[in-house]
Chain A
Amino acid sequence: MPEIIDILNALVLMTNYVILPALTYGSQLALGALGVTLVFGILRFSNFAHGDTMAFGAMATIIVTWWLQSMGVSFGPLPTALLALPFGIAVTAIFVLLTDKVVYKHYRGIGAKPITFVMVSVGVMFIMNGLVRFIIGPGDQRFADGVRFIFKAREFKDWSGLDQGLALRSSQVITIVLAVILVAALFWFLQKTKTGKAMRAFSDNENLALLSGIDPAKIVRITWILAAVLATVAGVLYGLDKSFKPFVYFQLLLPIFAAAIVGGLGKPIGAIAGGFIVAFSEVAVTYVYKKFLIYLLPEHLEPNSLMQLLATEYKFAVSFVILVLVLLVKPTGLFKGKVV
């Protein structure tokens, strides 16, 4: 029987390396996937430009942050970017609405196939891809300020007397808290407000909704604004937690899609579940369980090998393996997503 202290050490180890990072990353993915799934639910296509919308939103926020920083404005211990966030959201929303007006609206008018929308969104993706690099460049941008750590691993060790450290970053807390608030607000909006109900009705049955007098233009507008809010917040949170680099946001699109599909397209709750499933499986499958098991197992059973299921090289592939496996069992995702 392992001692209490070993169990505690094992728990702290898991929390520090698996649970906390996966929770944070999962929240970022969930917010991204919510945007994808919302657009799919109302506008009925997979928006390939969503990753670059996140990059665009983060970029707009960063520029405002820089401006605020140069004006000497700060947000105390919190990052200034949070102050700039509303401006970033506004700019992104305007840009996205403009894109809709110039590009997507035409295809709704002629009743184009969903696949046409997807291809068009690939075109928008290329343009945003170039635009973001054009404005802010392809390099790494740092814009995080404020207090980085709530407590560091070393401080935790000294405080608790355990062998294992636990670090908690402010960006992790901000990410998780903000994600919870945003998701709660979104669900409240969809469940309780008149517009939200109309959106759900529209998503479930377009014709019926139109018959009952719902204004489709308004629904579409609200959807794009919500998508812009979710994309910008996800993009900024990701940038605060790691760093901002346009190329990475394109890479982020793939796990976001995986998350949205695993949960079932068009299902907000599915997107959130999908985000966490993808994040946790990436970390858990490639984790080295040697140290963890050493704490928990009696001495003669202690492993010599690394106890790693899959090498980290395959981390990125894990989310897609999960995706394929889920689709094999449930062809439209865990929460019975929509098909068009």
Chain B
Amino acid sequence: MKKHLLTAALTAAIATSSMANAADIKVGVILGFTGPIESLTPDMGASAELAFKEASDSGMLLGGSKIVPVRADSTCVDASAATAAAERLITSDKVVAIMGADCSGVTTAIANSAAVPNGVVMVSPSATSPALSTIEDKGLFFRTAPSDARQGQVLADAVVEGGIKEIAVTYTNNDYGKGLADSFVAAFKAHGGTVTIVAAHEDGKADYSAEVAALAASGAEKLAVLGYLDQGGKGIIQASIDTGAFETFALGDGMIGQSLVDAFGADMVDSIGTSPGGASAATKTFVKMAKANKIGGEGPYDGTSYDAGALIALAIQAGNSADRASIQANMNKVANAPGTKIYPGELKKALEILSKGGEIDYVGATNIEFNEVGEVFGTYKQLEIKDNKFSTVKIR
């Protein structure tokens, strides 16, 4: 039976690829354009679409095909609405792959009830929950953002190296915040540090003075904030500075953004943060490209979004087919060694190599290399606030 299906898949691949020449290829972009991370998603979507445009404009993609992005709203929180949107993309718009989704909860829902059943590849640029490593995805789920289990470790390393021995931790009360807090606390304790209190905060609430009061009263002088920049995380920092409770912060990736520095930069002393990012030259190239296209480029997930989009385009080319199964079969091939290393802005070169039957190893803006479950190990930027913006101290 399996054999039969395999042949079926192969023939389908051949059949569609012969038809697909010089046609439009639809790729879904499912991100939370409304909801808790609505301020991050416009740049993320635009970054992925930048990769699509680069591939389309090269004229090399399947002999001149174009990728047409189809956007849908994941809402970040409402599983029913997200599944309905994904269902629409997959069965009505017939997208060949999905770049998304963003938040871990809705990503799991879409994977389980829409993408996996229909054999559609999902490449998430920002779903970082450790639980996603073990979902039953039949090899269809990939992510270009590393798991939180790693980030907790990296942030703890950075904090300890900064000479901090005692810290209070607050996290946004959802799977992202809780998962990151768990791994951070474990790693920090393993380094011999003391965590005085771990307190959750709810997003979108009216007042954060109670949380900050509790955090400050625990006795710690420094505060780790693992939340969202435009949500409760910001409220916590504001209330901390207002009451003079904390002025040194350790920030998770959800907190990294220019708007935070604009608001409180002067009052945040010796604060550090981590955010996914790669070898700095490649990242700089990407940021330059993004800025030239009026995209922020420095958001926590802009680089990973570009990479997610680029990988889909390259996988299409590698299998010489805009077919769902063929994309899945070629994801690892284009992302991993051996092959010519490909950096941001080099998609044309990559497409050319692939069309000649050569091999590539996509590195991209964030140093992509998939492991056996389709995840990146991930490099992180360690950031500090300097001259009113976040600047990279080193790569971990």
Q: Spell out A's residues near B (CB within 8 Å).
A: 13, 16-18, 21-22, 25, 138-140, 142, 152-154, 156, 165-167, 169, 238, 242-243, 245, 247-248, 251-252, 255, 279, 282-283, 286-292, 306, 308, 311-313, 315-316
Binding stretch for chain A, among B93-101, B104-112, B235-243: B235-243
Find out whether the CB atom of A315 lies under 8 angstroms from the CB atom of B210: yes
- Given the known inter-chain contacts A283-B210, A308-B214, please indicate yes or no for A17 contacting B204, CB distance below 8 A: no
A243–B263 CA distance with the chains assembled, in angstroms: 11
Residue B192, interface by CB 8 Å: no
Distance (whole angstroms) from the CB of B240 to the closest CB of chain A: 10
A142–B245 CA distance with the chains assembled, in angstroms: 22
Find out whether the CB atom of B219 lies under 8 angstroms from the CB atom of A291: yes
Q: Is the interface of A mostly helix, strand, loop or mixed?
A: helix
With beta carbons under 8 angstroms apart, the residue of A17, A243, A251, A313 that contacts B216 is A17
Find out whether the CB atom of B210 lies under 8 angstroms from the CB atom of A313: no
Find out whether the CB atom of A283 lies under 8 angstroms from the CB atom of B209: yes
Binary per-residue interface labels of chain B (177-202) against chain A in the complex, 1 for a CB within 8 Å, 0 otherwise: 00000000000000000000101111
Residue B131, interface by CB 8 Å: no
Other than A165-B243, A288-B215, A308-B214, give 12 A-B pairs with Cβ distance below 8 A: A21-B239, A140-B39, A140-B234, A153-B244, A154-B244, A242-B206, A242-B207, A283-B213, A290-B218, A292-B217, A315-B202, A315-B205
A247–B228 CA distance with the chains assembled, in angstroms: 15
Please give me the residue from chain A that is nearest to B170 by CB atom: A312
With beta carbons under 8 angstroms apart, the residue of B205, B213, B217, B219 that contacts A21 is B213
Q: Which residues from chain B contact A140 at a C-beta distance below 8 Å?
A: 39, 230, 234, 259
Distance (whole angstroms) from the CB of B76 to the closest CB of chain A: 12
- Given the known inter-chain contacts A169-B242, A290-B219, A292-B217, please indicate yes or no for A245 contacting B212, CB distance below 8 A: no
**In residues 21-53 of chain B, which contact A (Cβ within 8 Å)?**
34, 38-39
- Given the known inter-chain contacts A18-B213, A312-B211, please indicate yes or no for A288 contacting B197, CB distance below 8 A: yes
Q: Which residues from chain B contact A243 at a C-beta distance below 8 Å?
A: 234-235, 238
Please give me the residue from chain B that is nearest to A18 by CB atom: B213
A248–B231 CA distance with the chains assembled, in angstroms: 10
- Contact-size category for B: 35 or more
With beta carbons under 8 angstroms apart, the residue of B206, B234, B239 that contacts A238 is B206
Q: Which residues from chain B contact A154 at a C-beta distance below 8 Å?
A: 244
- Given the known inter-chain contacts A25-B207, A139-B230, A283-B209, please indicate yes or no for A17 contacting B200, CB distance below 8 A: no
Find out whether the CB atom of B212 lies under 8 angstroms from the CB atom of A17: yes
Q: Which residues from chain B contact A313 at a C-beta distance below 8 Å?
A: 173, 199-200, 202
Find out whether the CB atom of B214 lies under 8 angstroms from the CB atom of A287: yes
Find out whether the CB atom of A138 lies under 8 angstroms from the CB atom of B205: no
Distance (whole angstroms) from the CB of B53 to the closest CB of chain A: 26
A21–B243 CA distance with the chains assembled, in angstroms: 9
A308–B168 CA distance with the chains assembled, in angstroms: 15
Find out whether the CB atom of B244 lies under 8 angstroms from the CB atom of A316: no
Most B CB contacts (10 A, CB to CB) among A140, A169, A238 go to A140
The 9 closest A-B pairs by CB, nearest first: A153-B244, A21-B209, A17-B213, A288-B217, A165-B244, A288-B214, A283-B210, A291-B217, A313-B200
Binary per-residue interface labels of chain B (256-273) against chain A in the complex, 1 for a CB within 8 Å, 0 otherwise: 000100010000000000
Please give me the residue from chain A that is nearest to B267 by CB atom: A152
Q: Which residues from chain B contact A17 at a C-beta distance below 8 Å?
A: 209, 212-213, 216-217, 243, 245
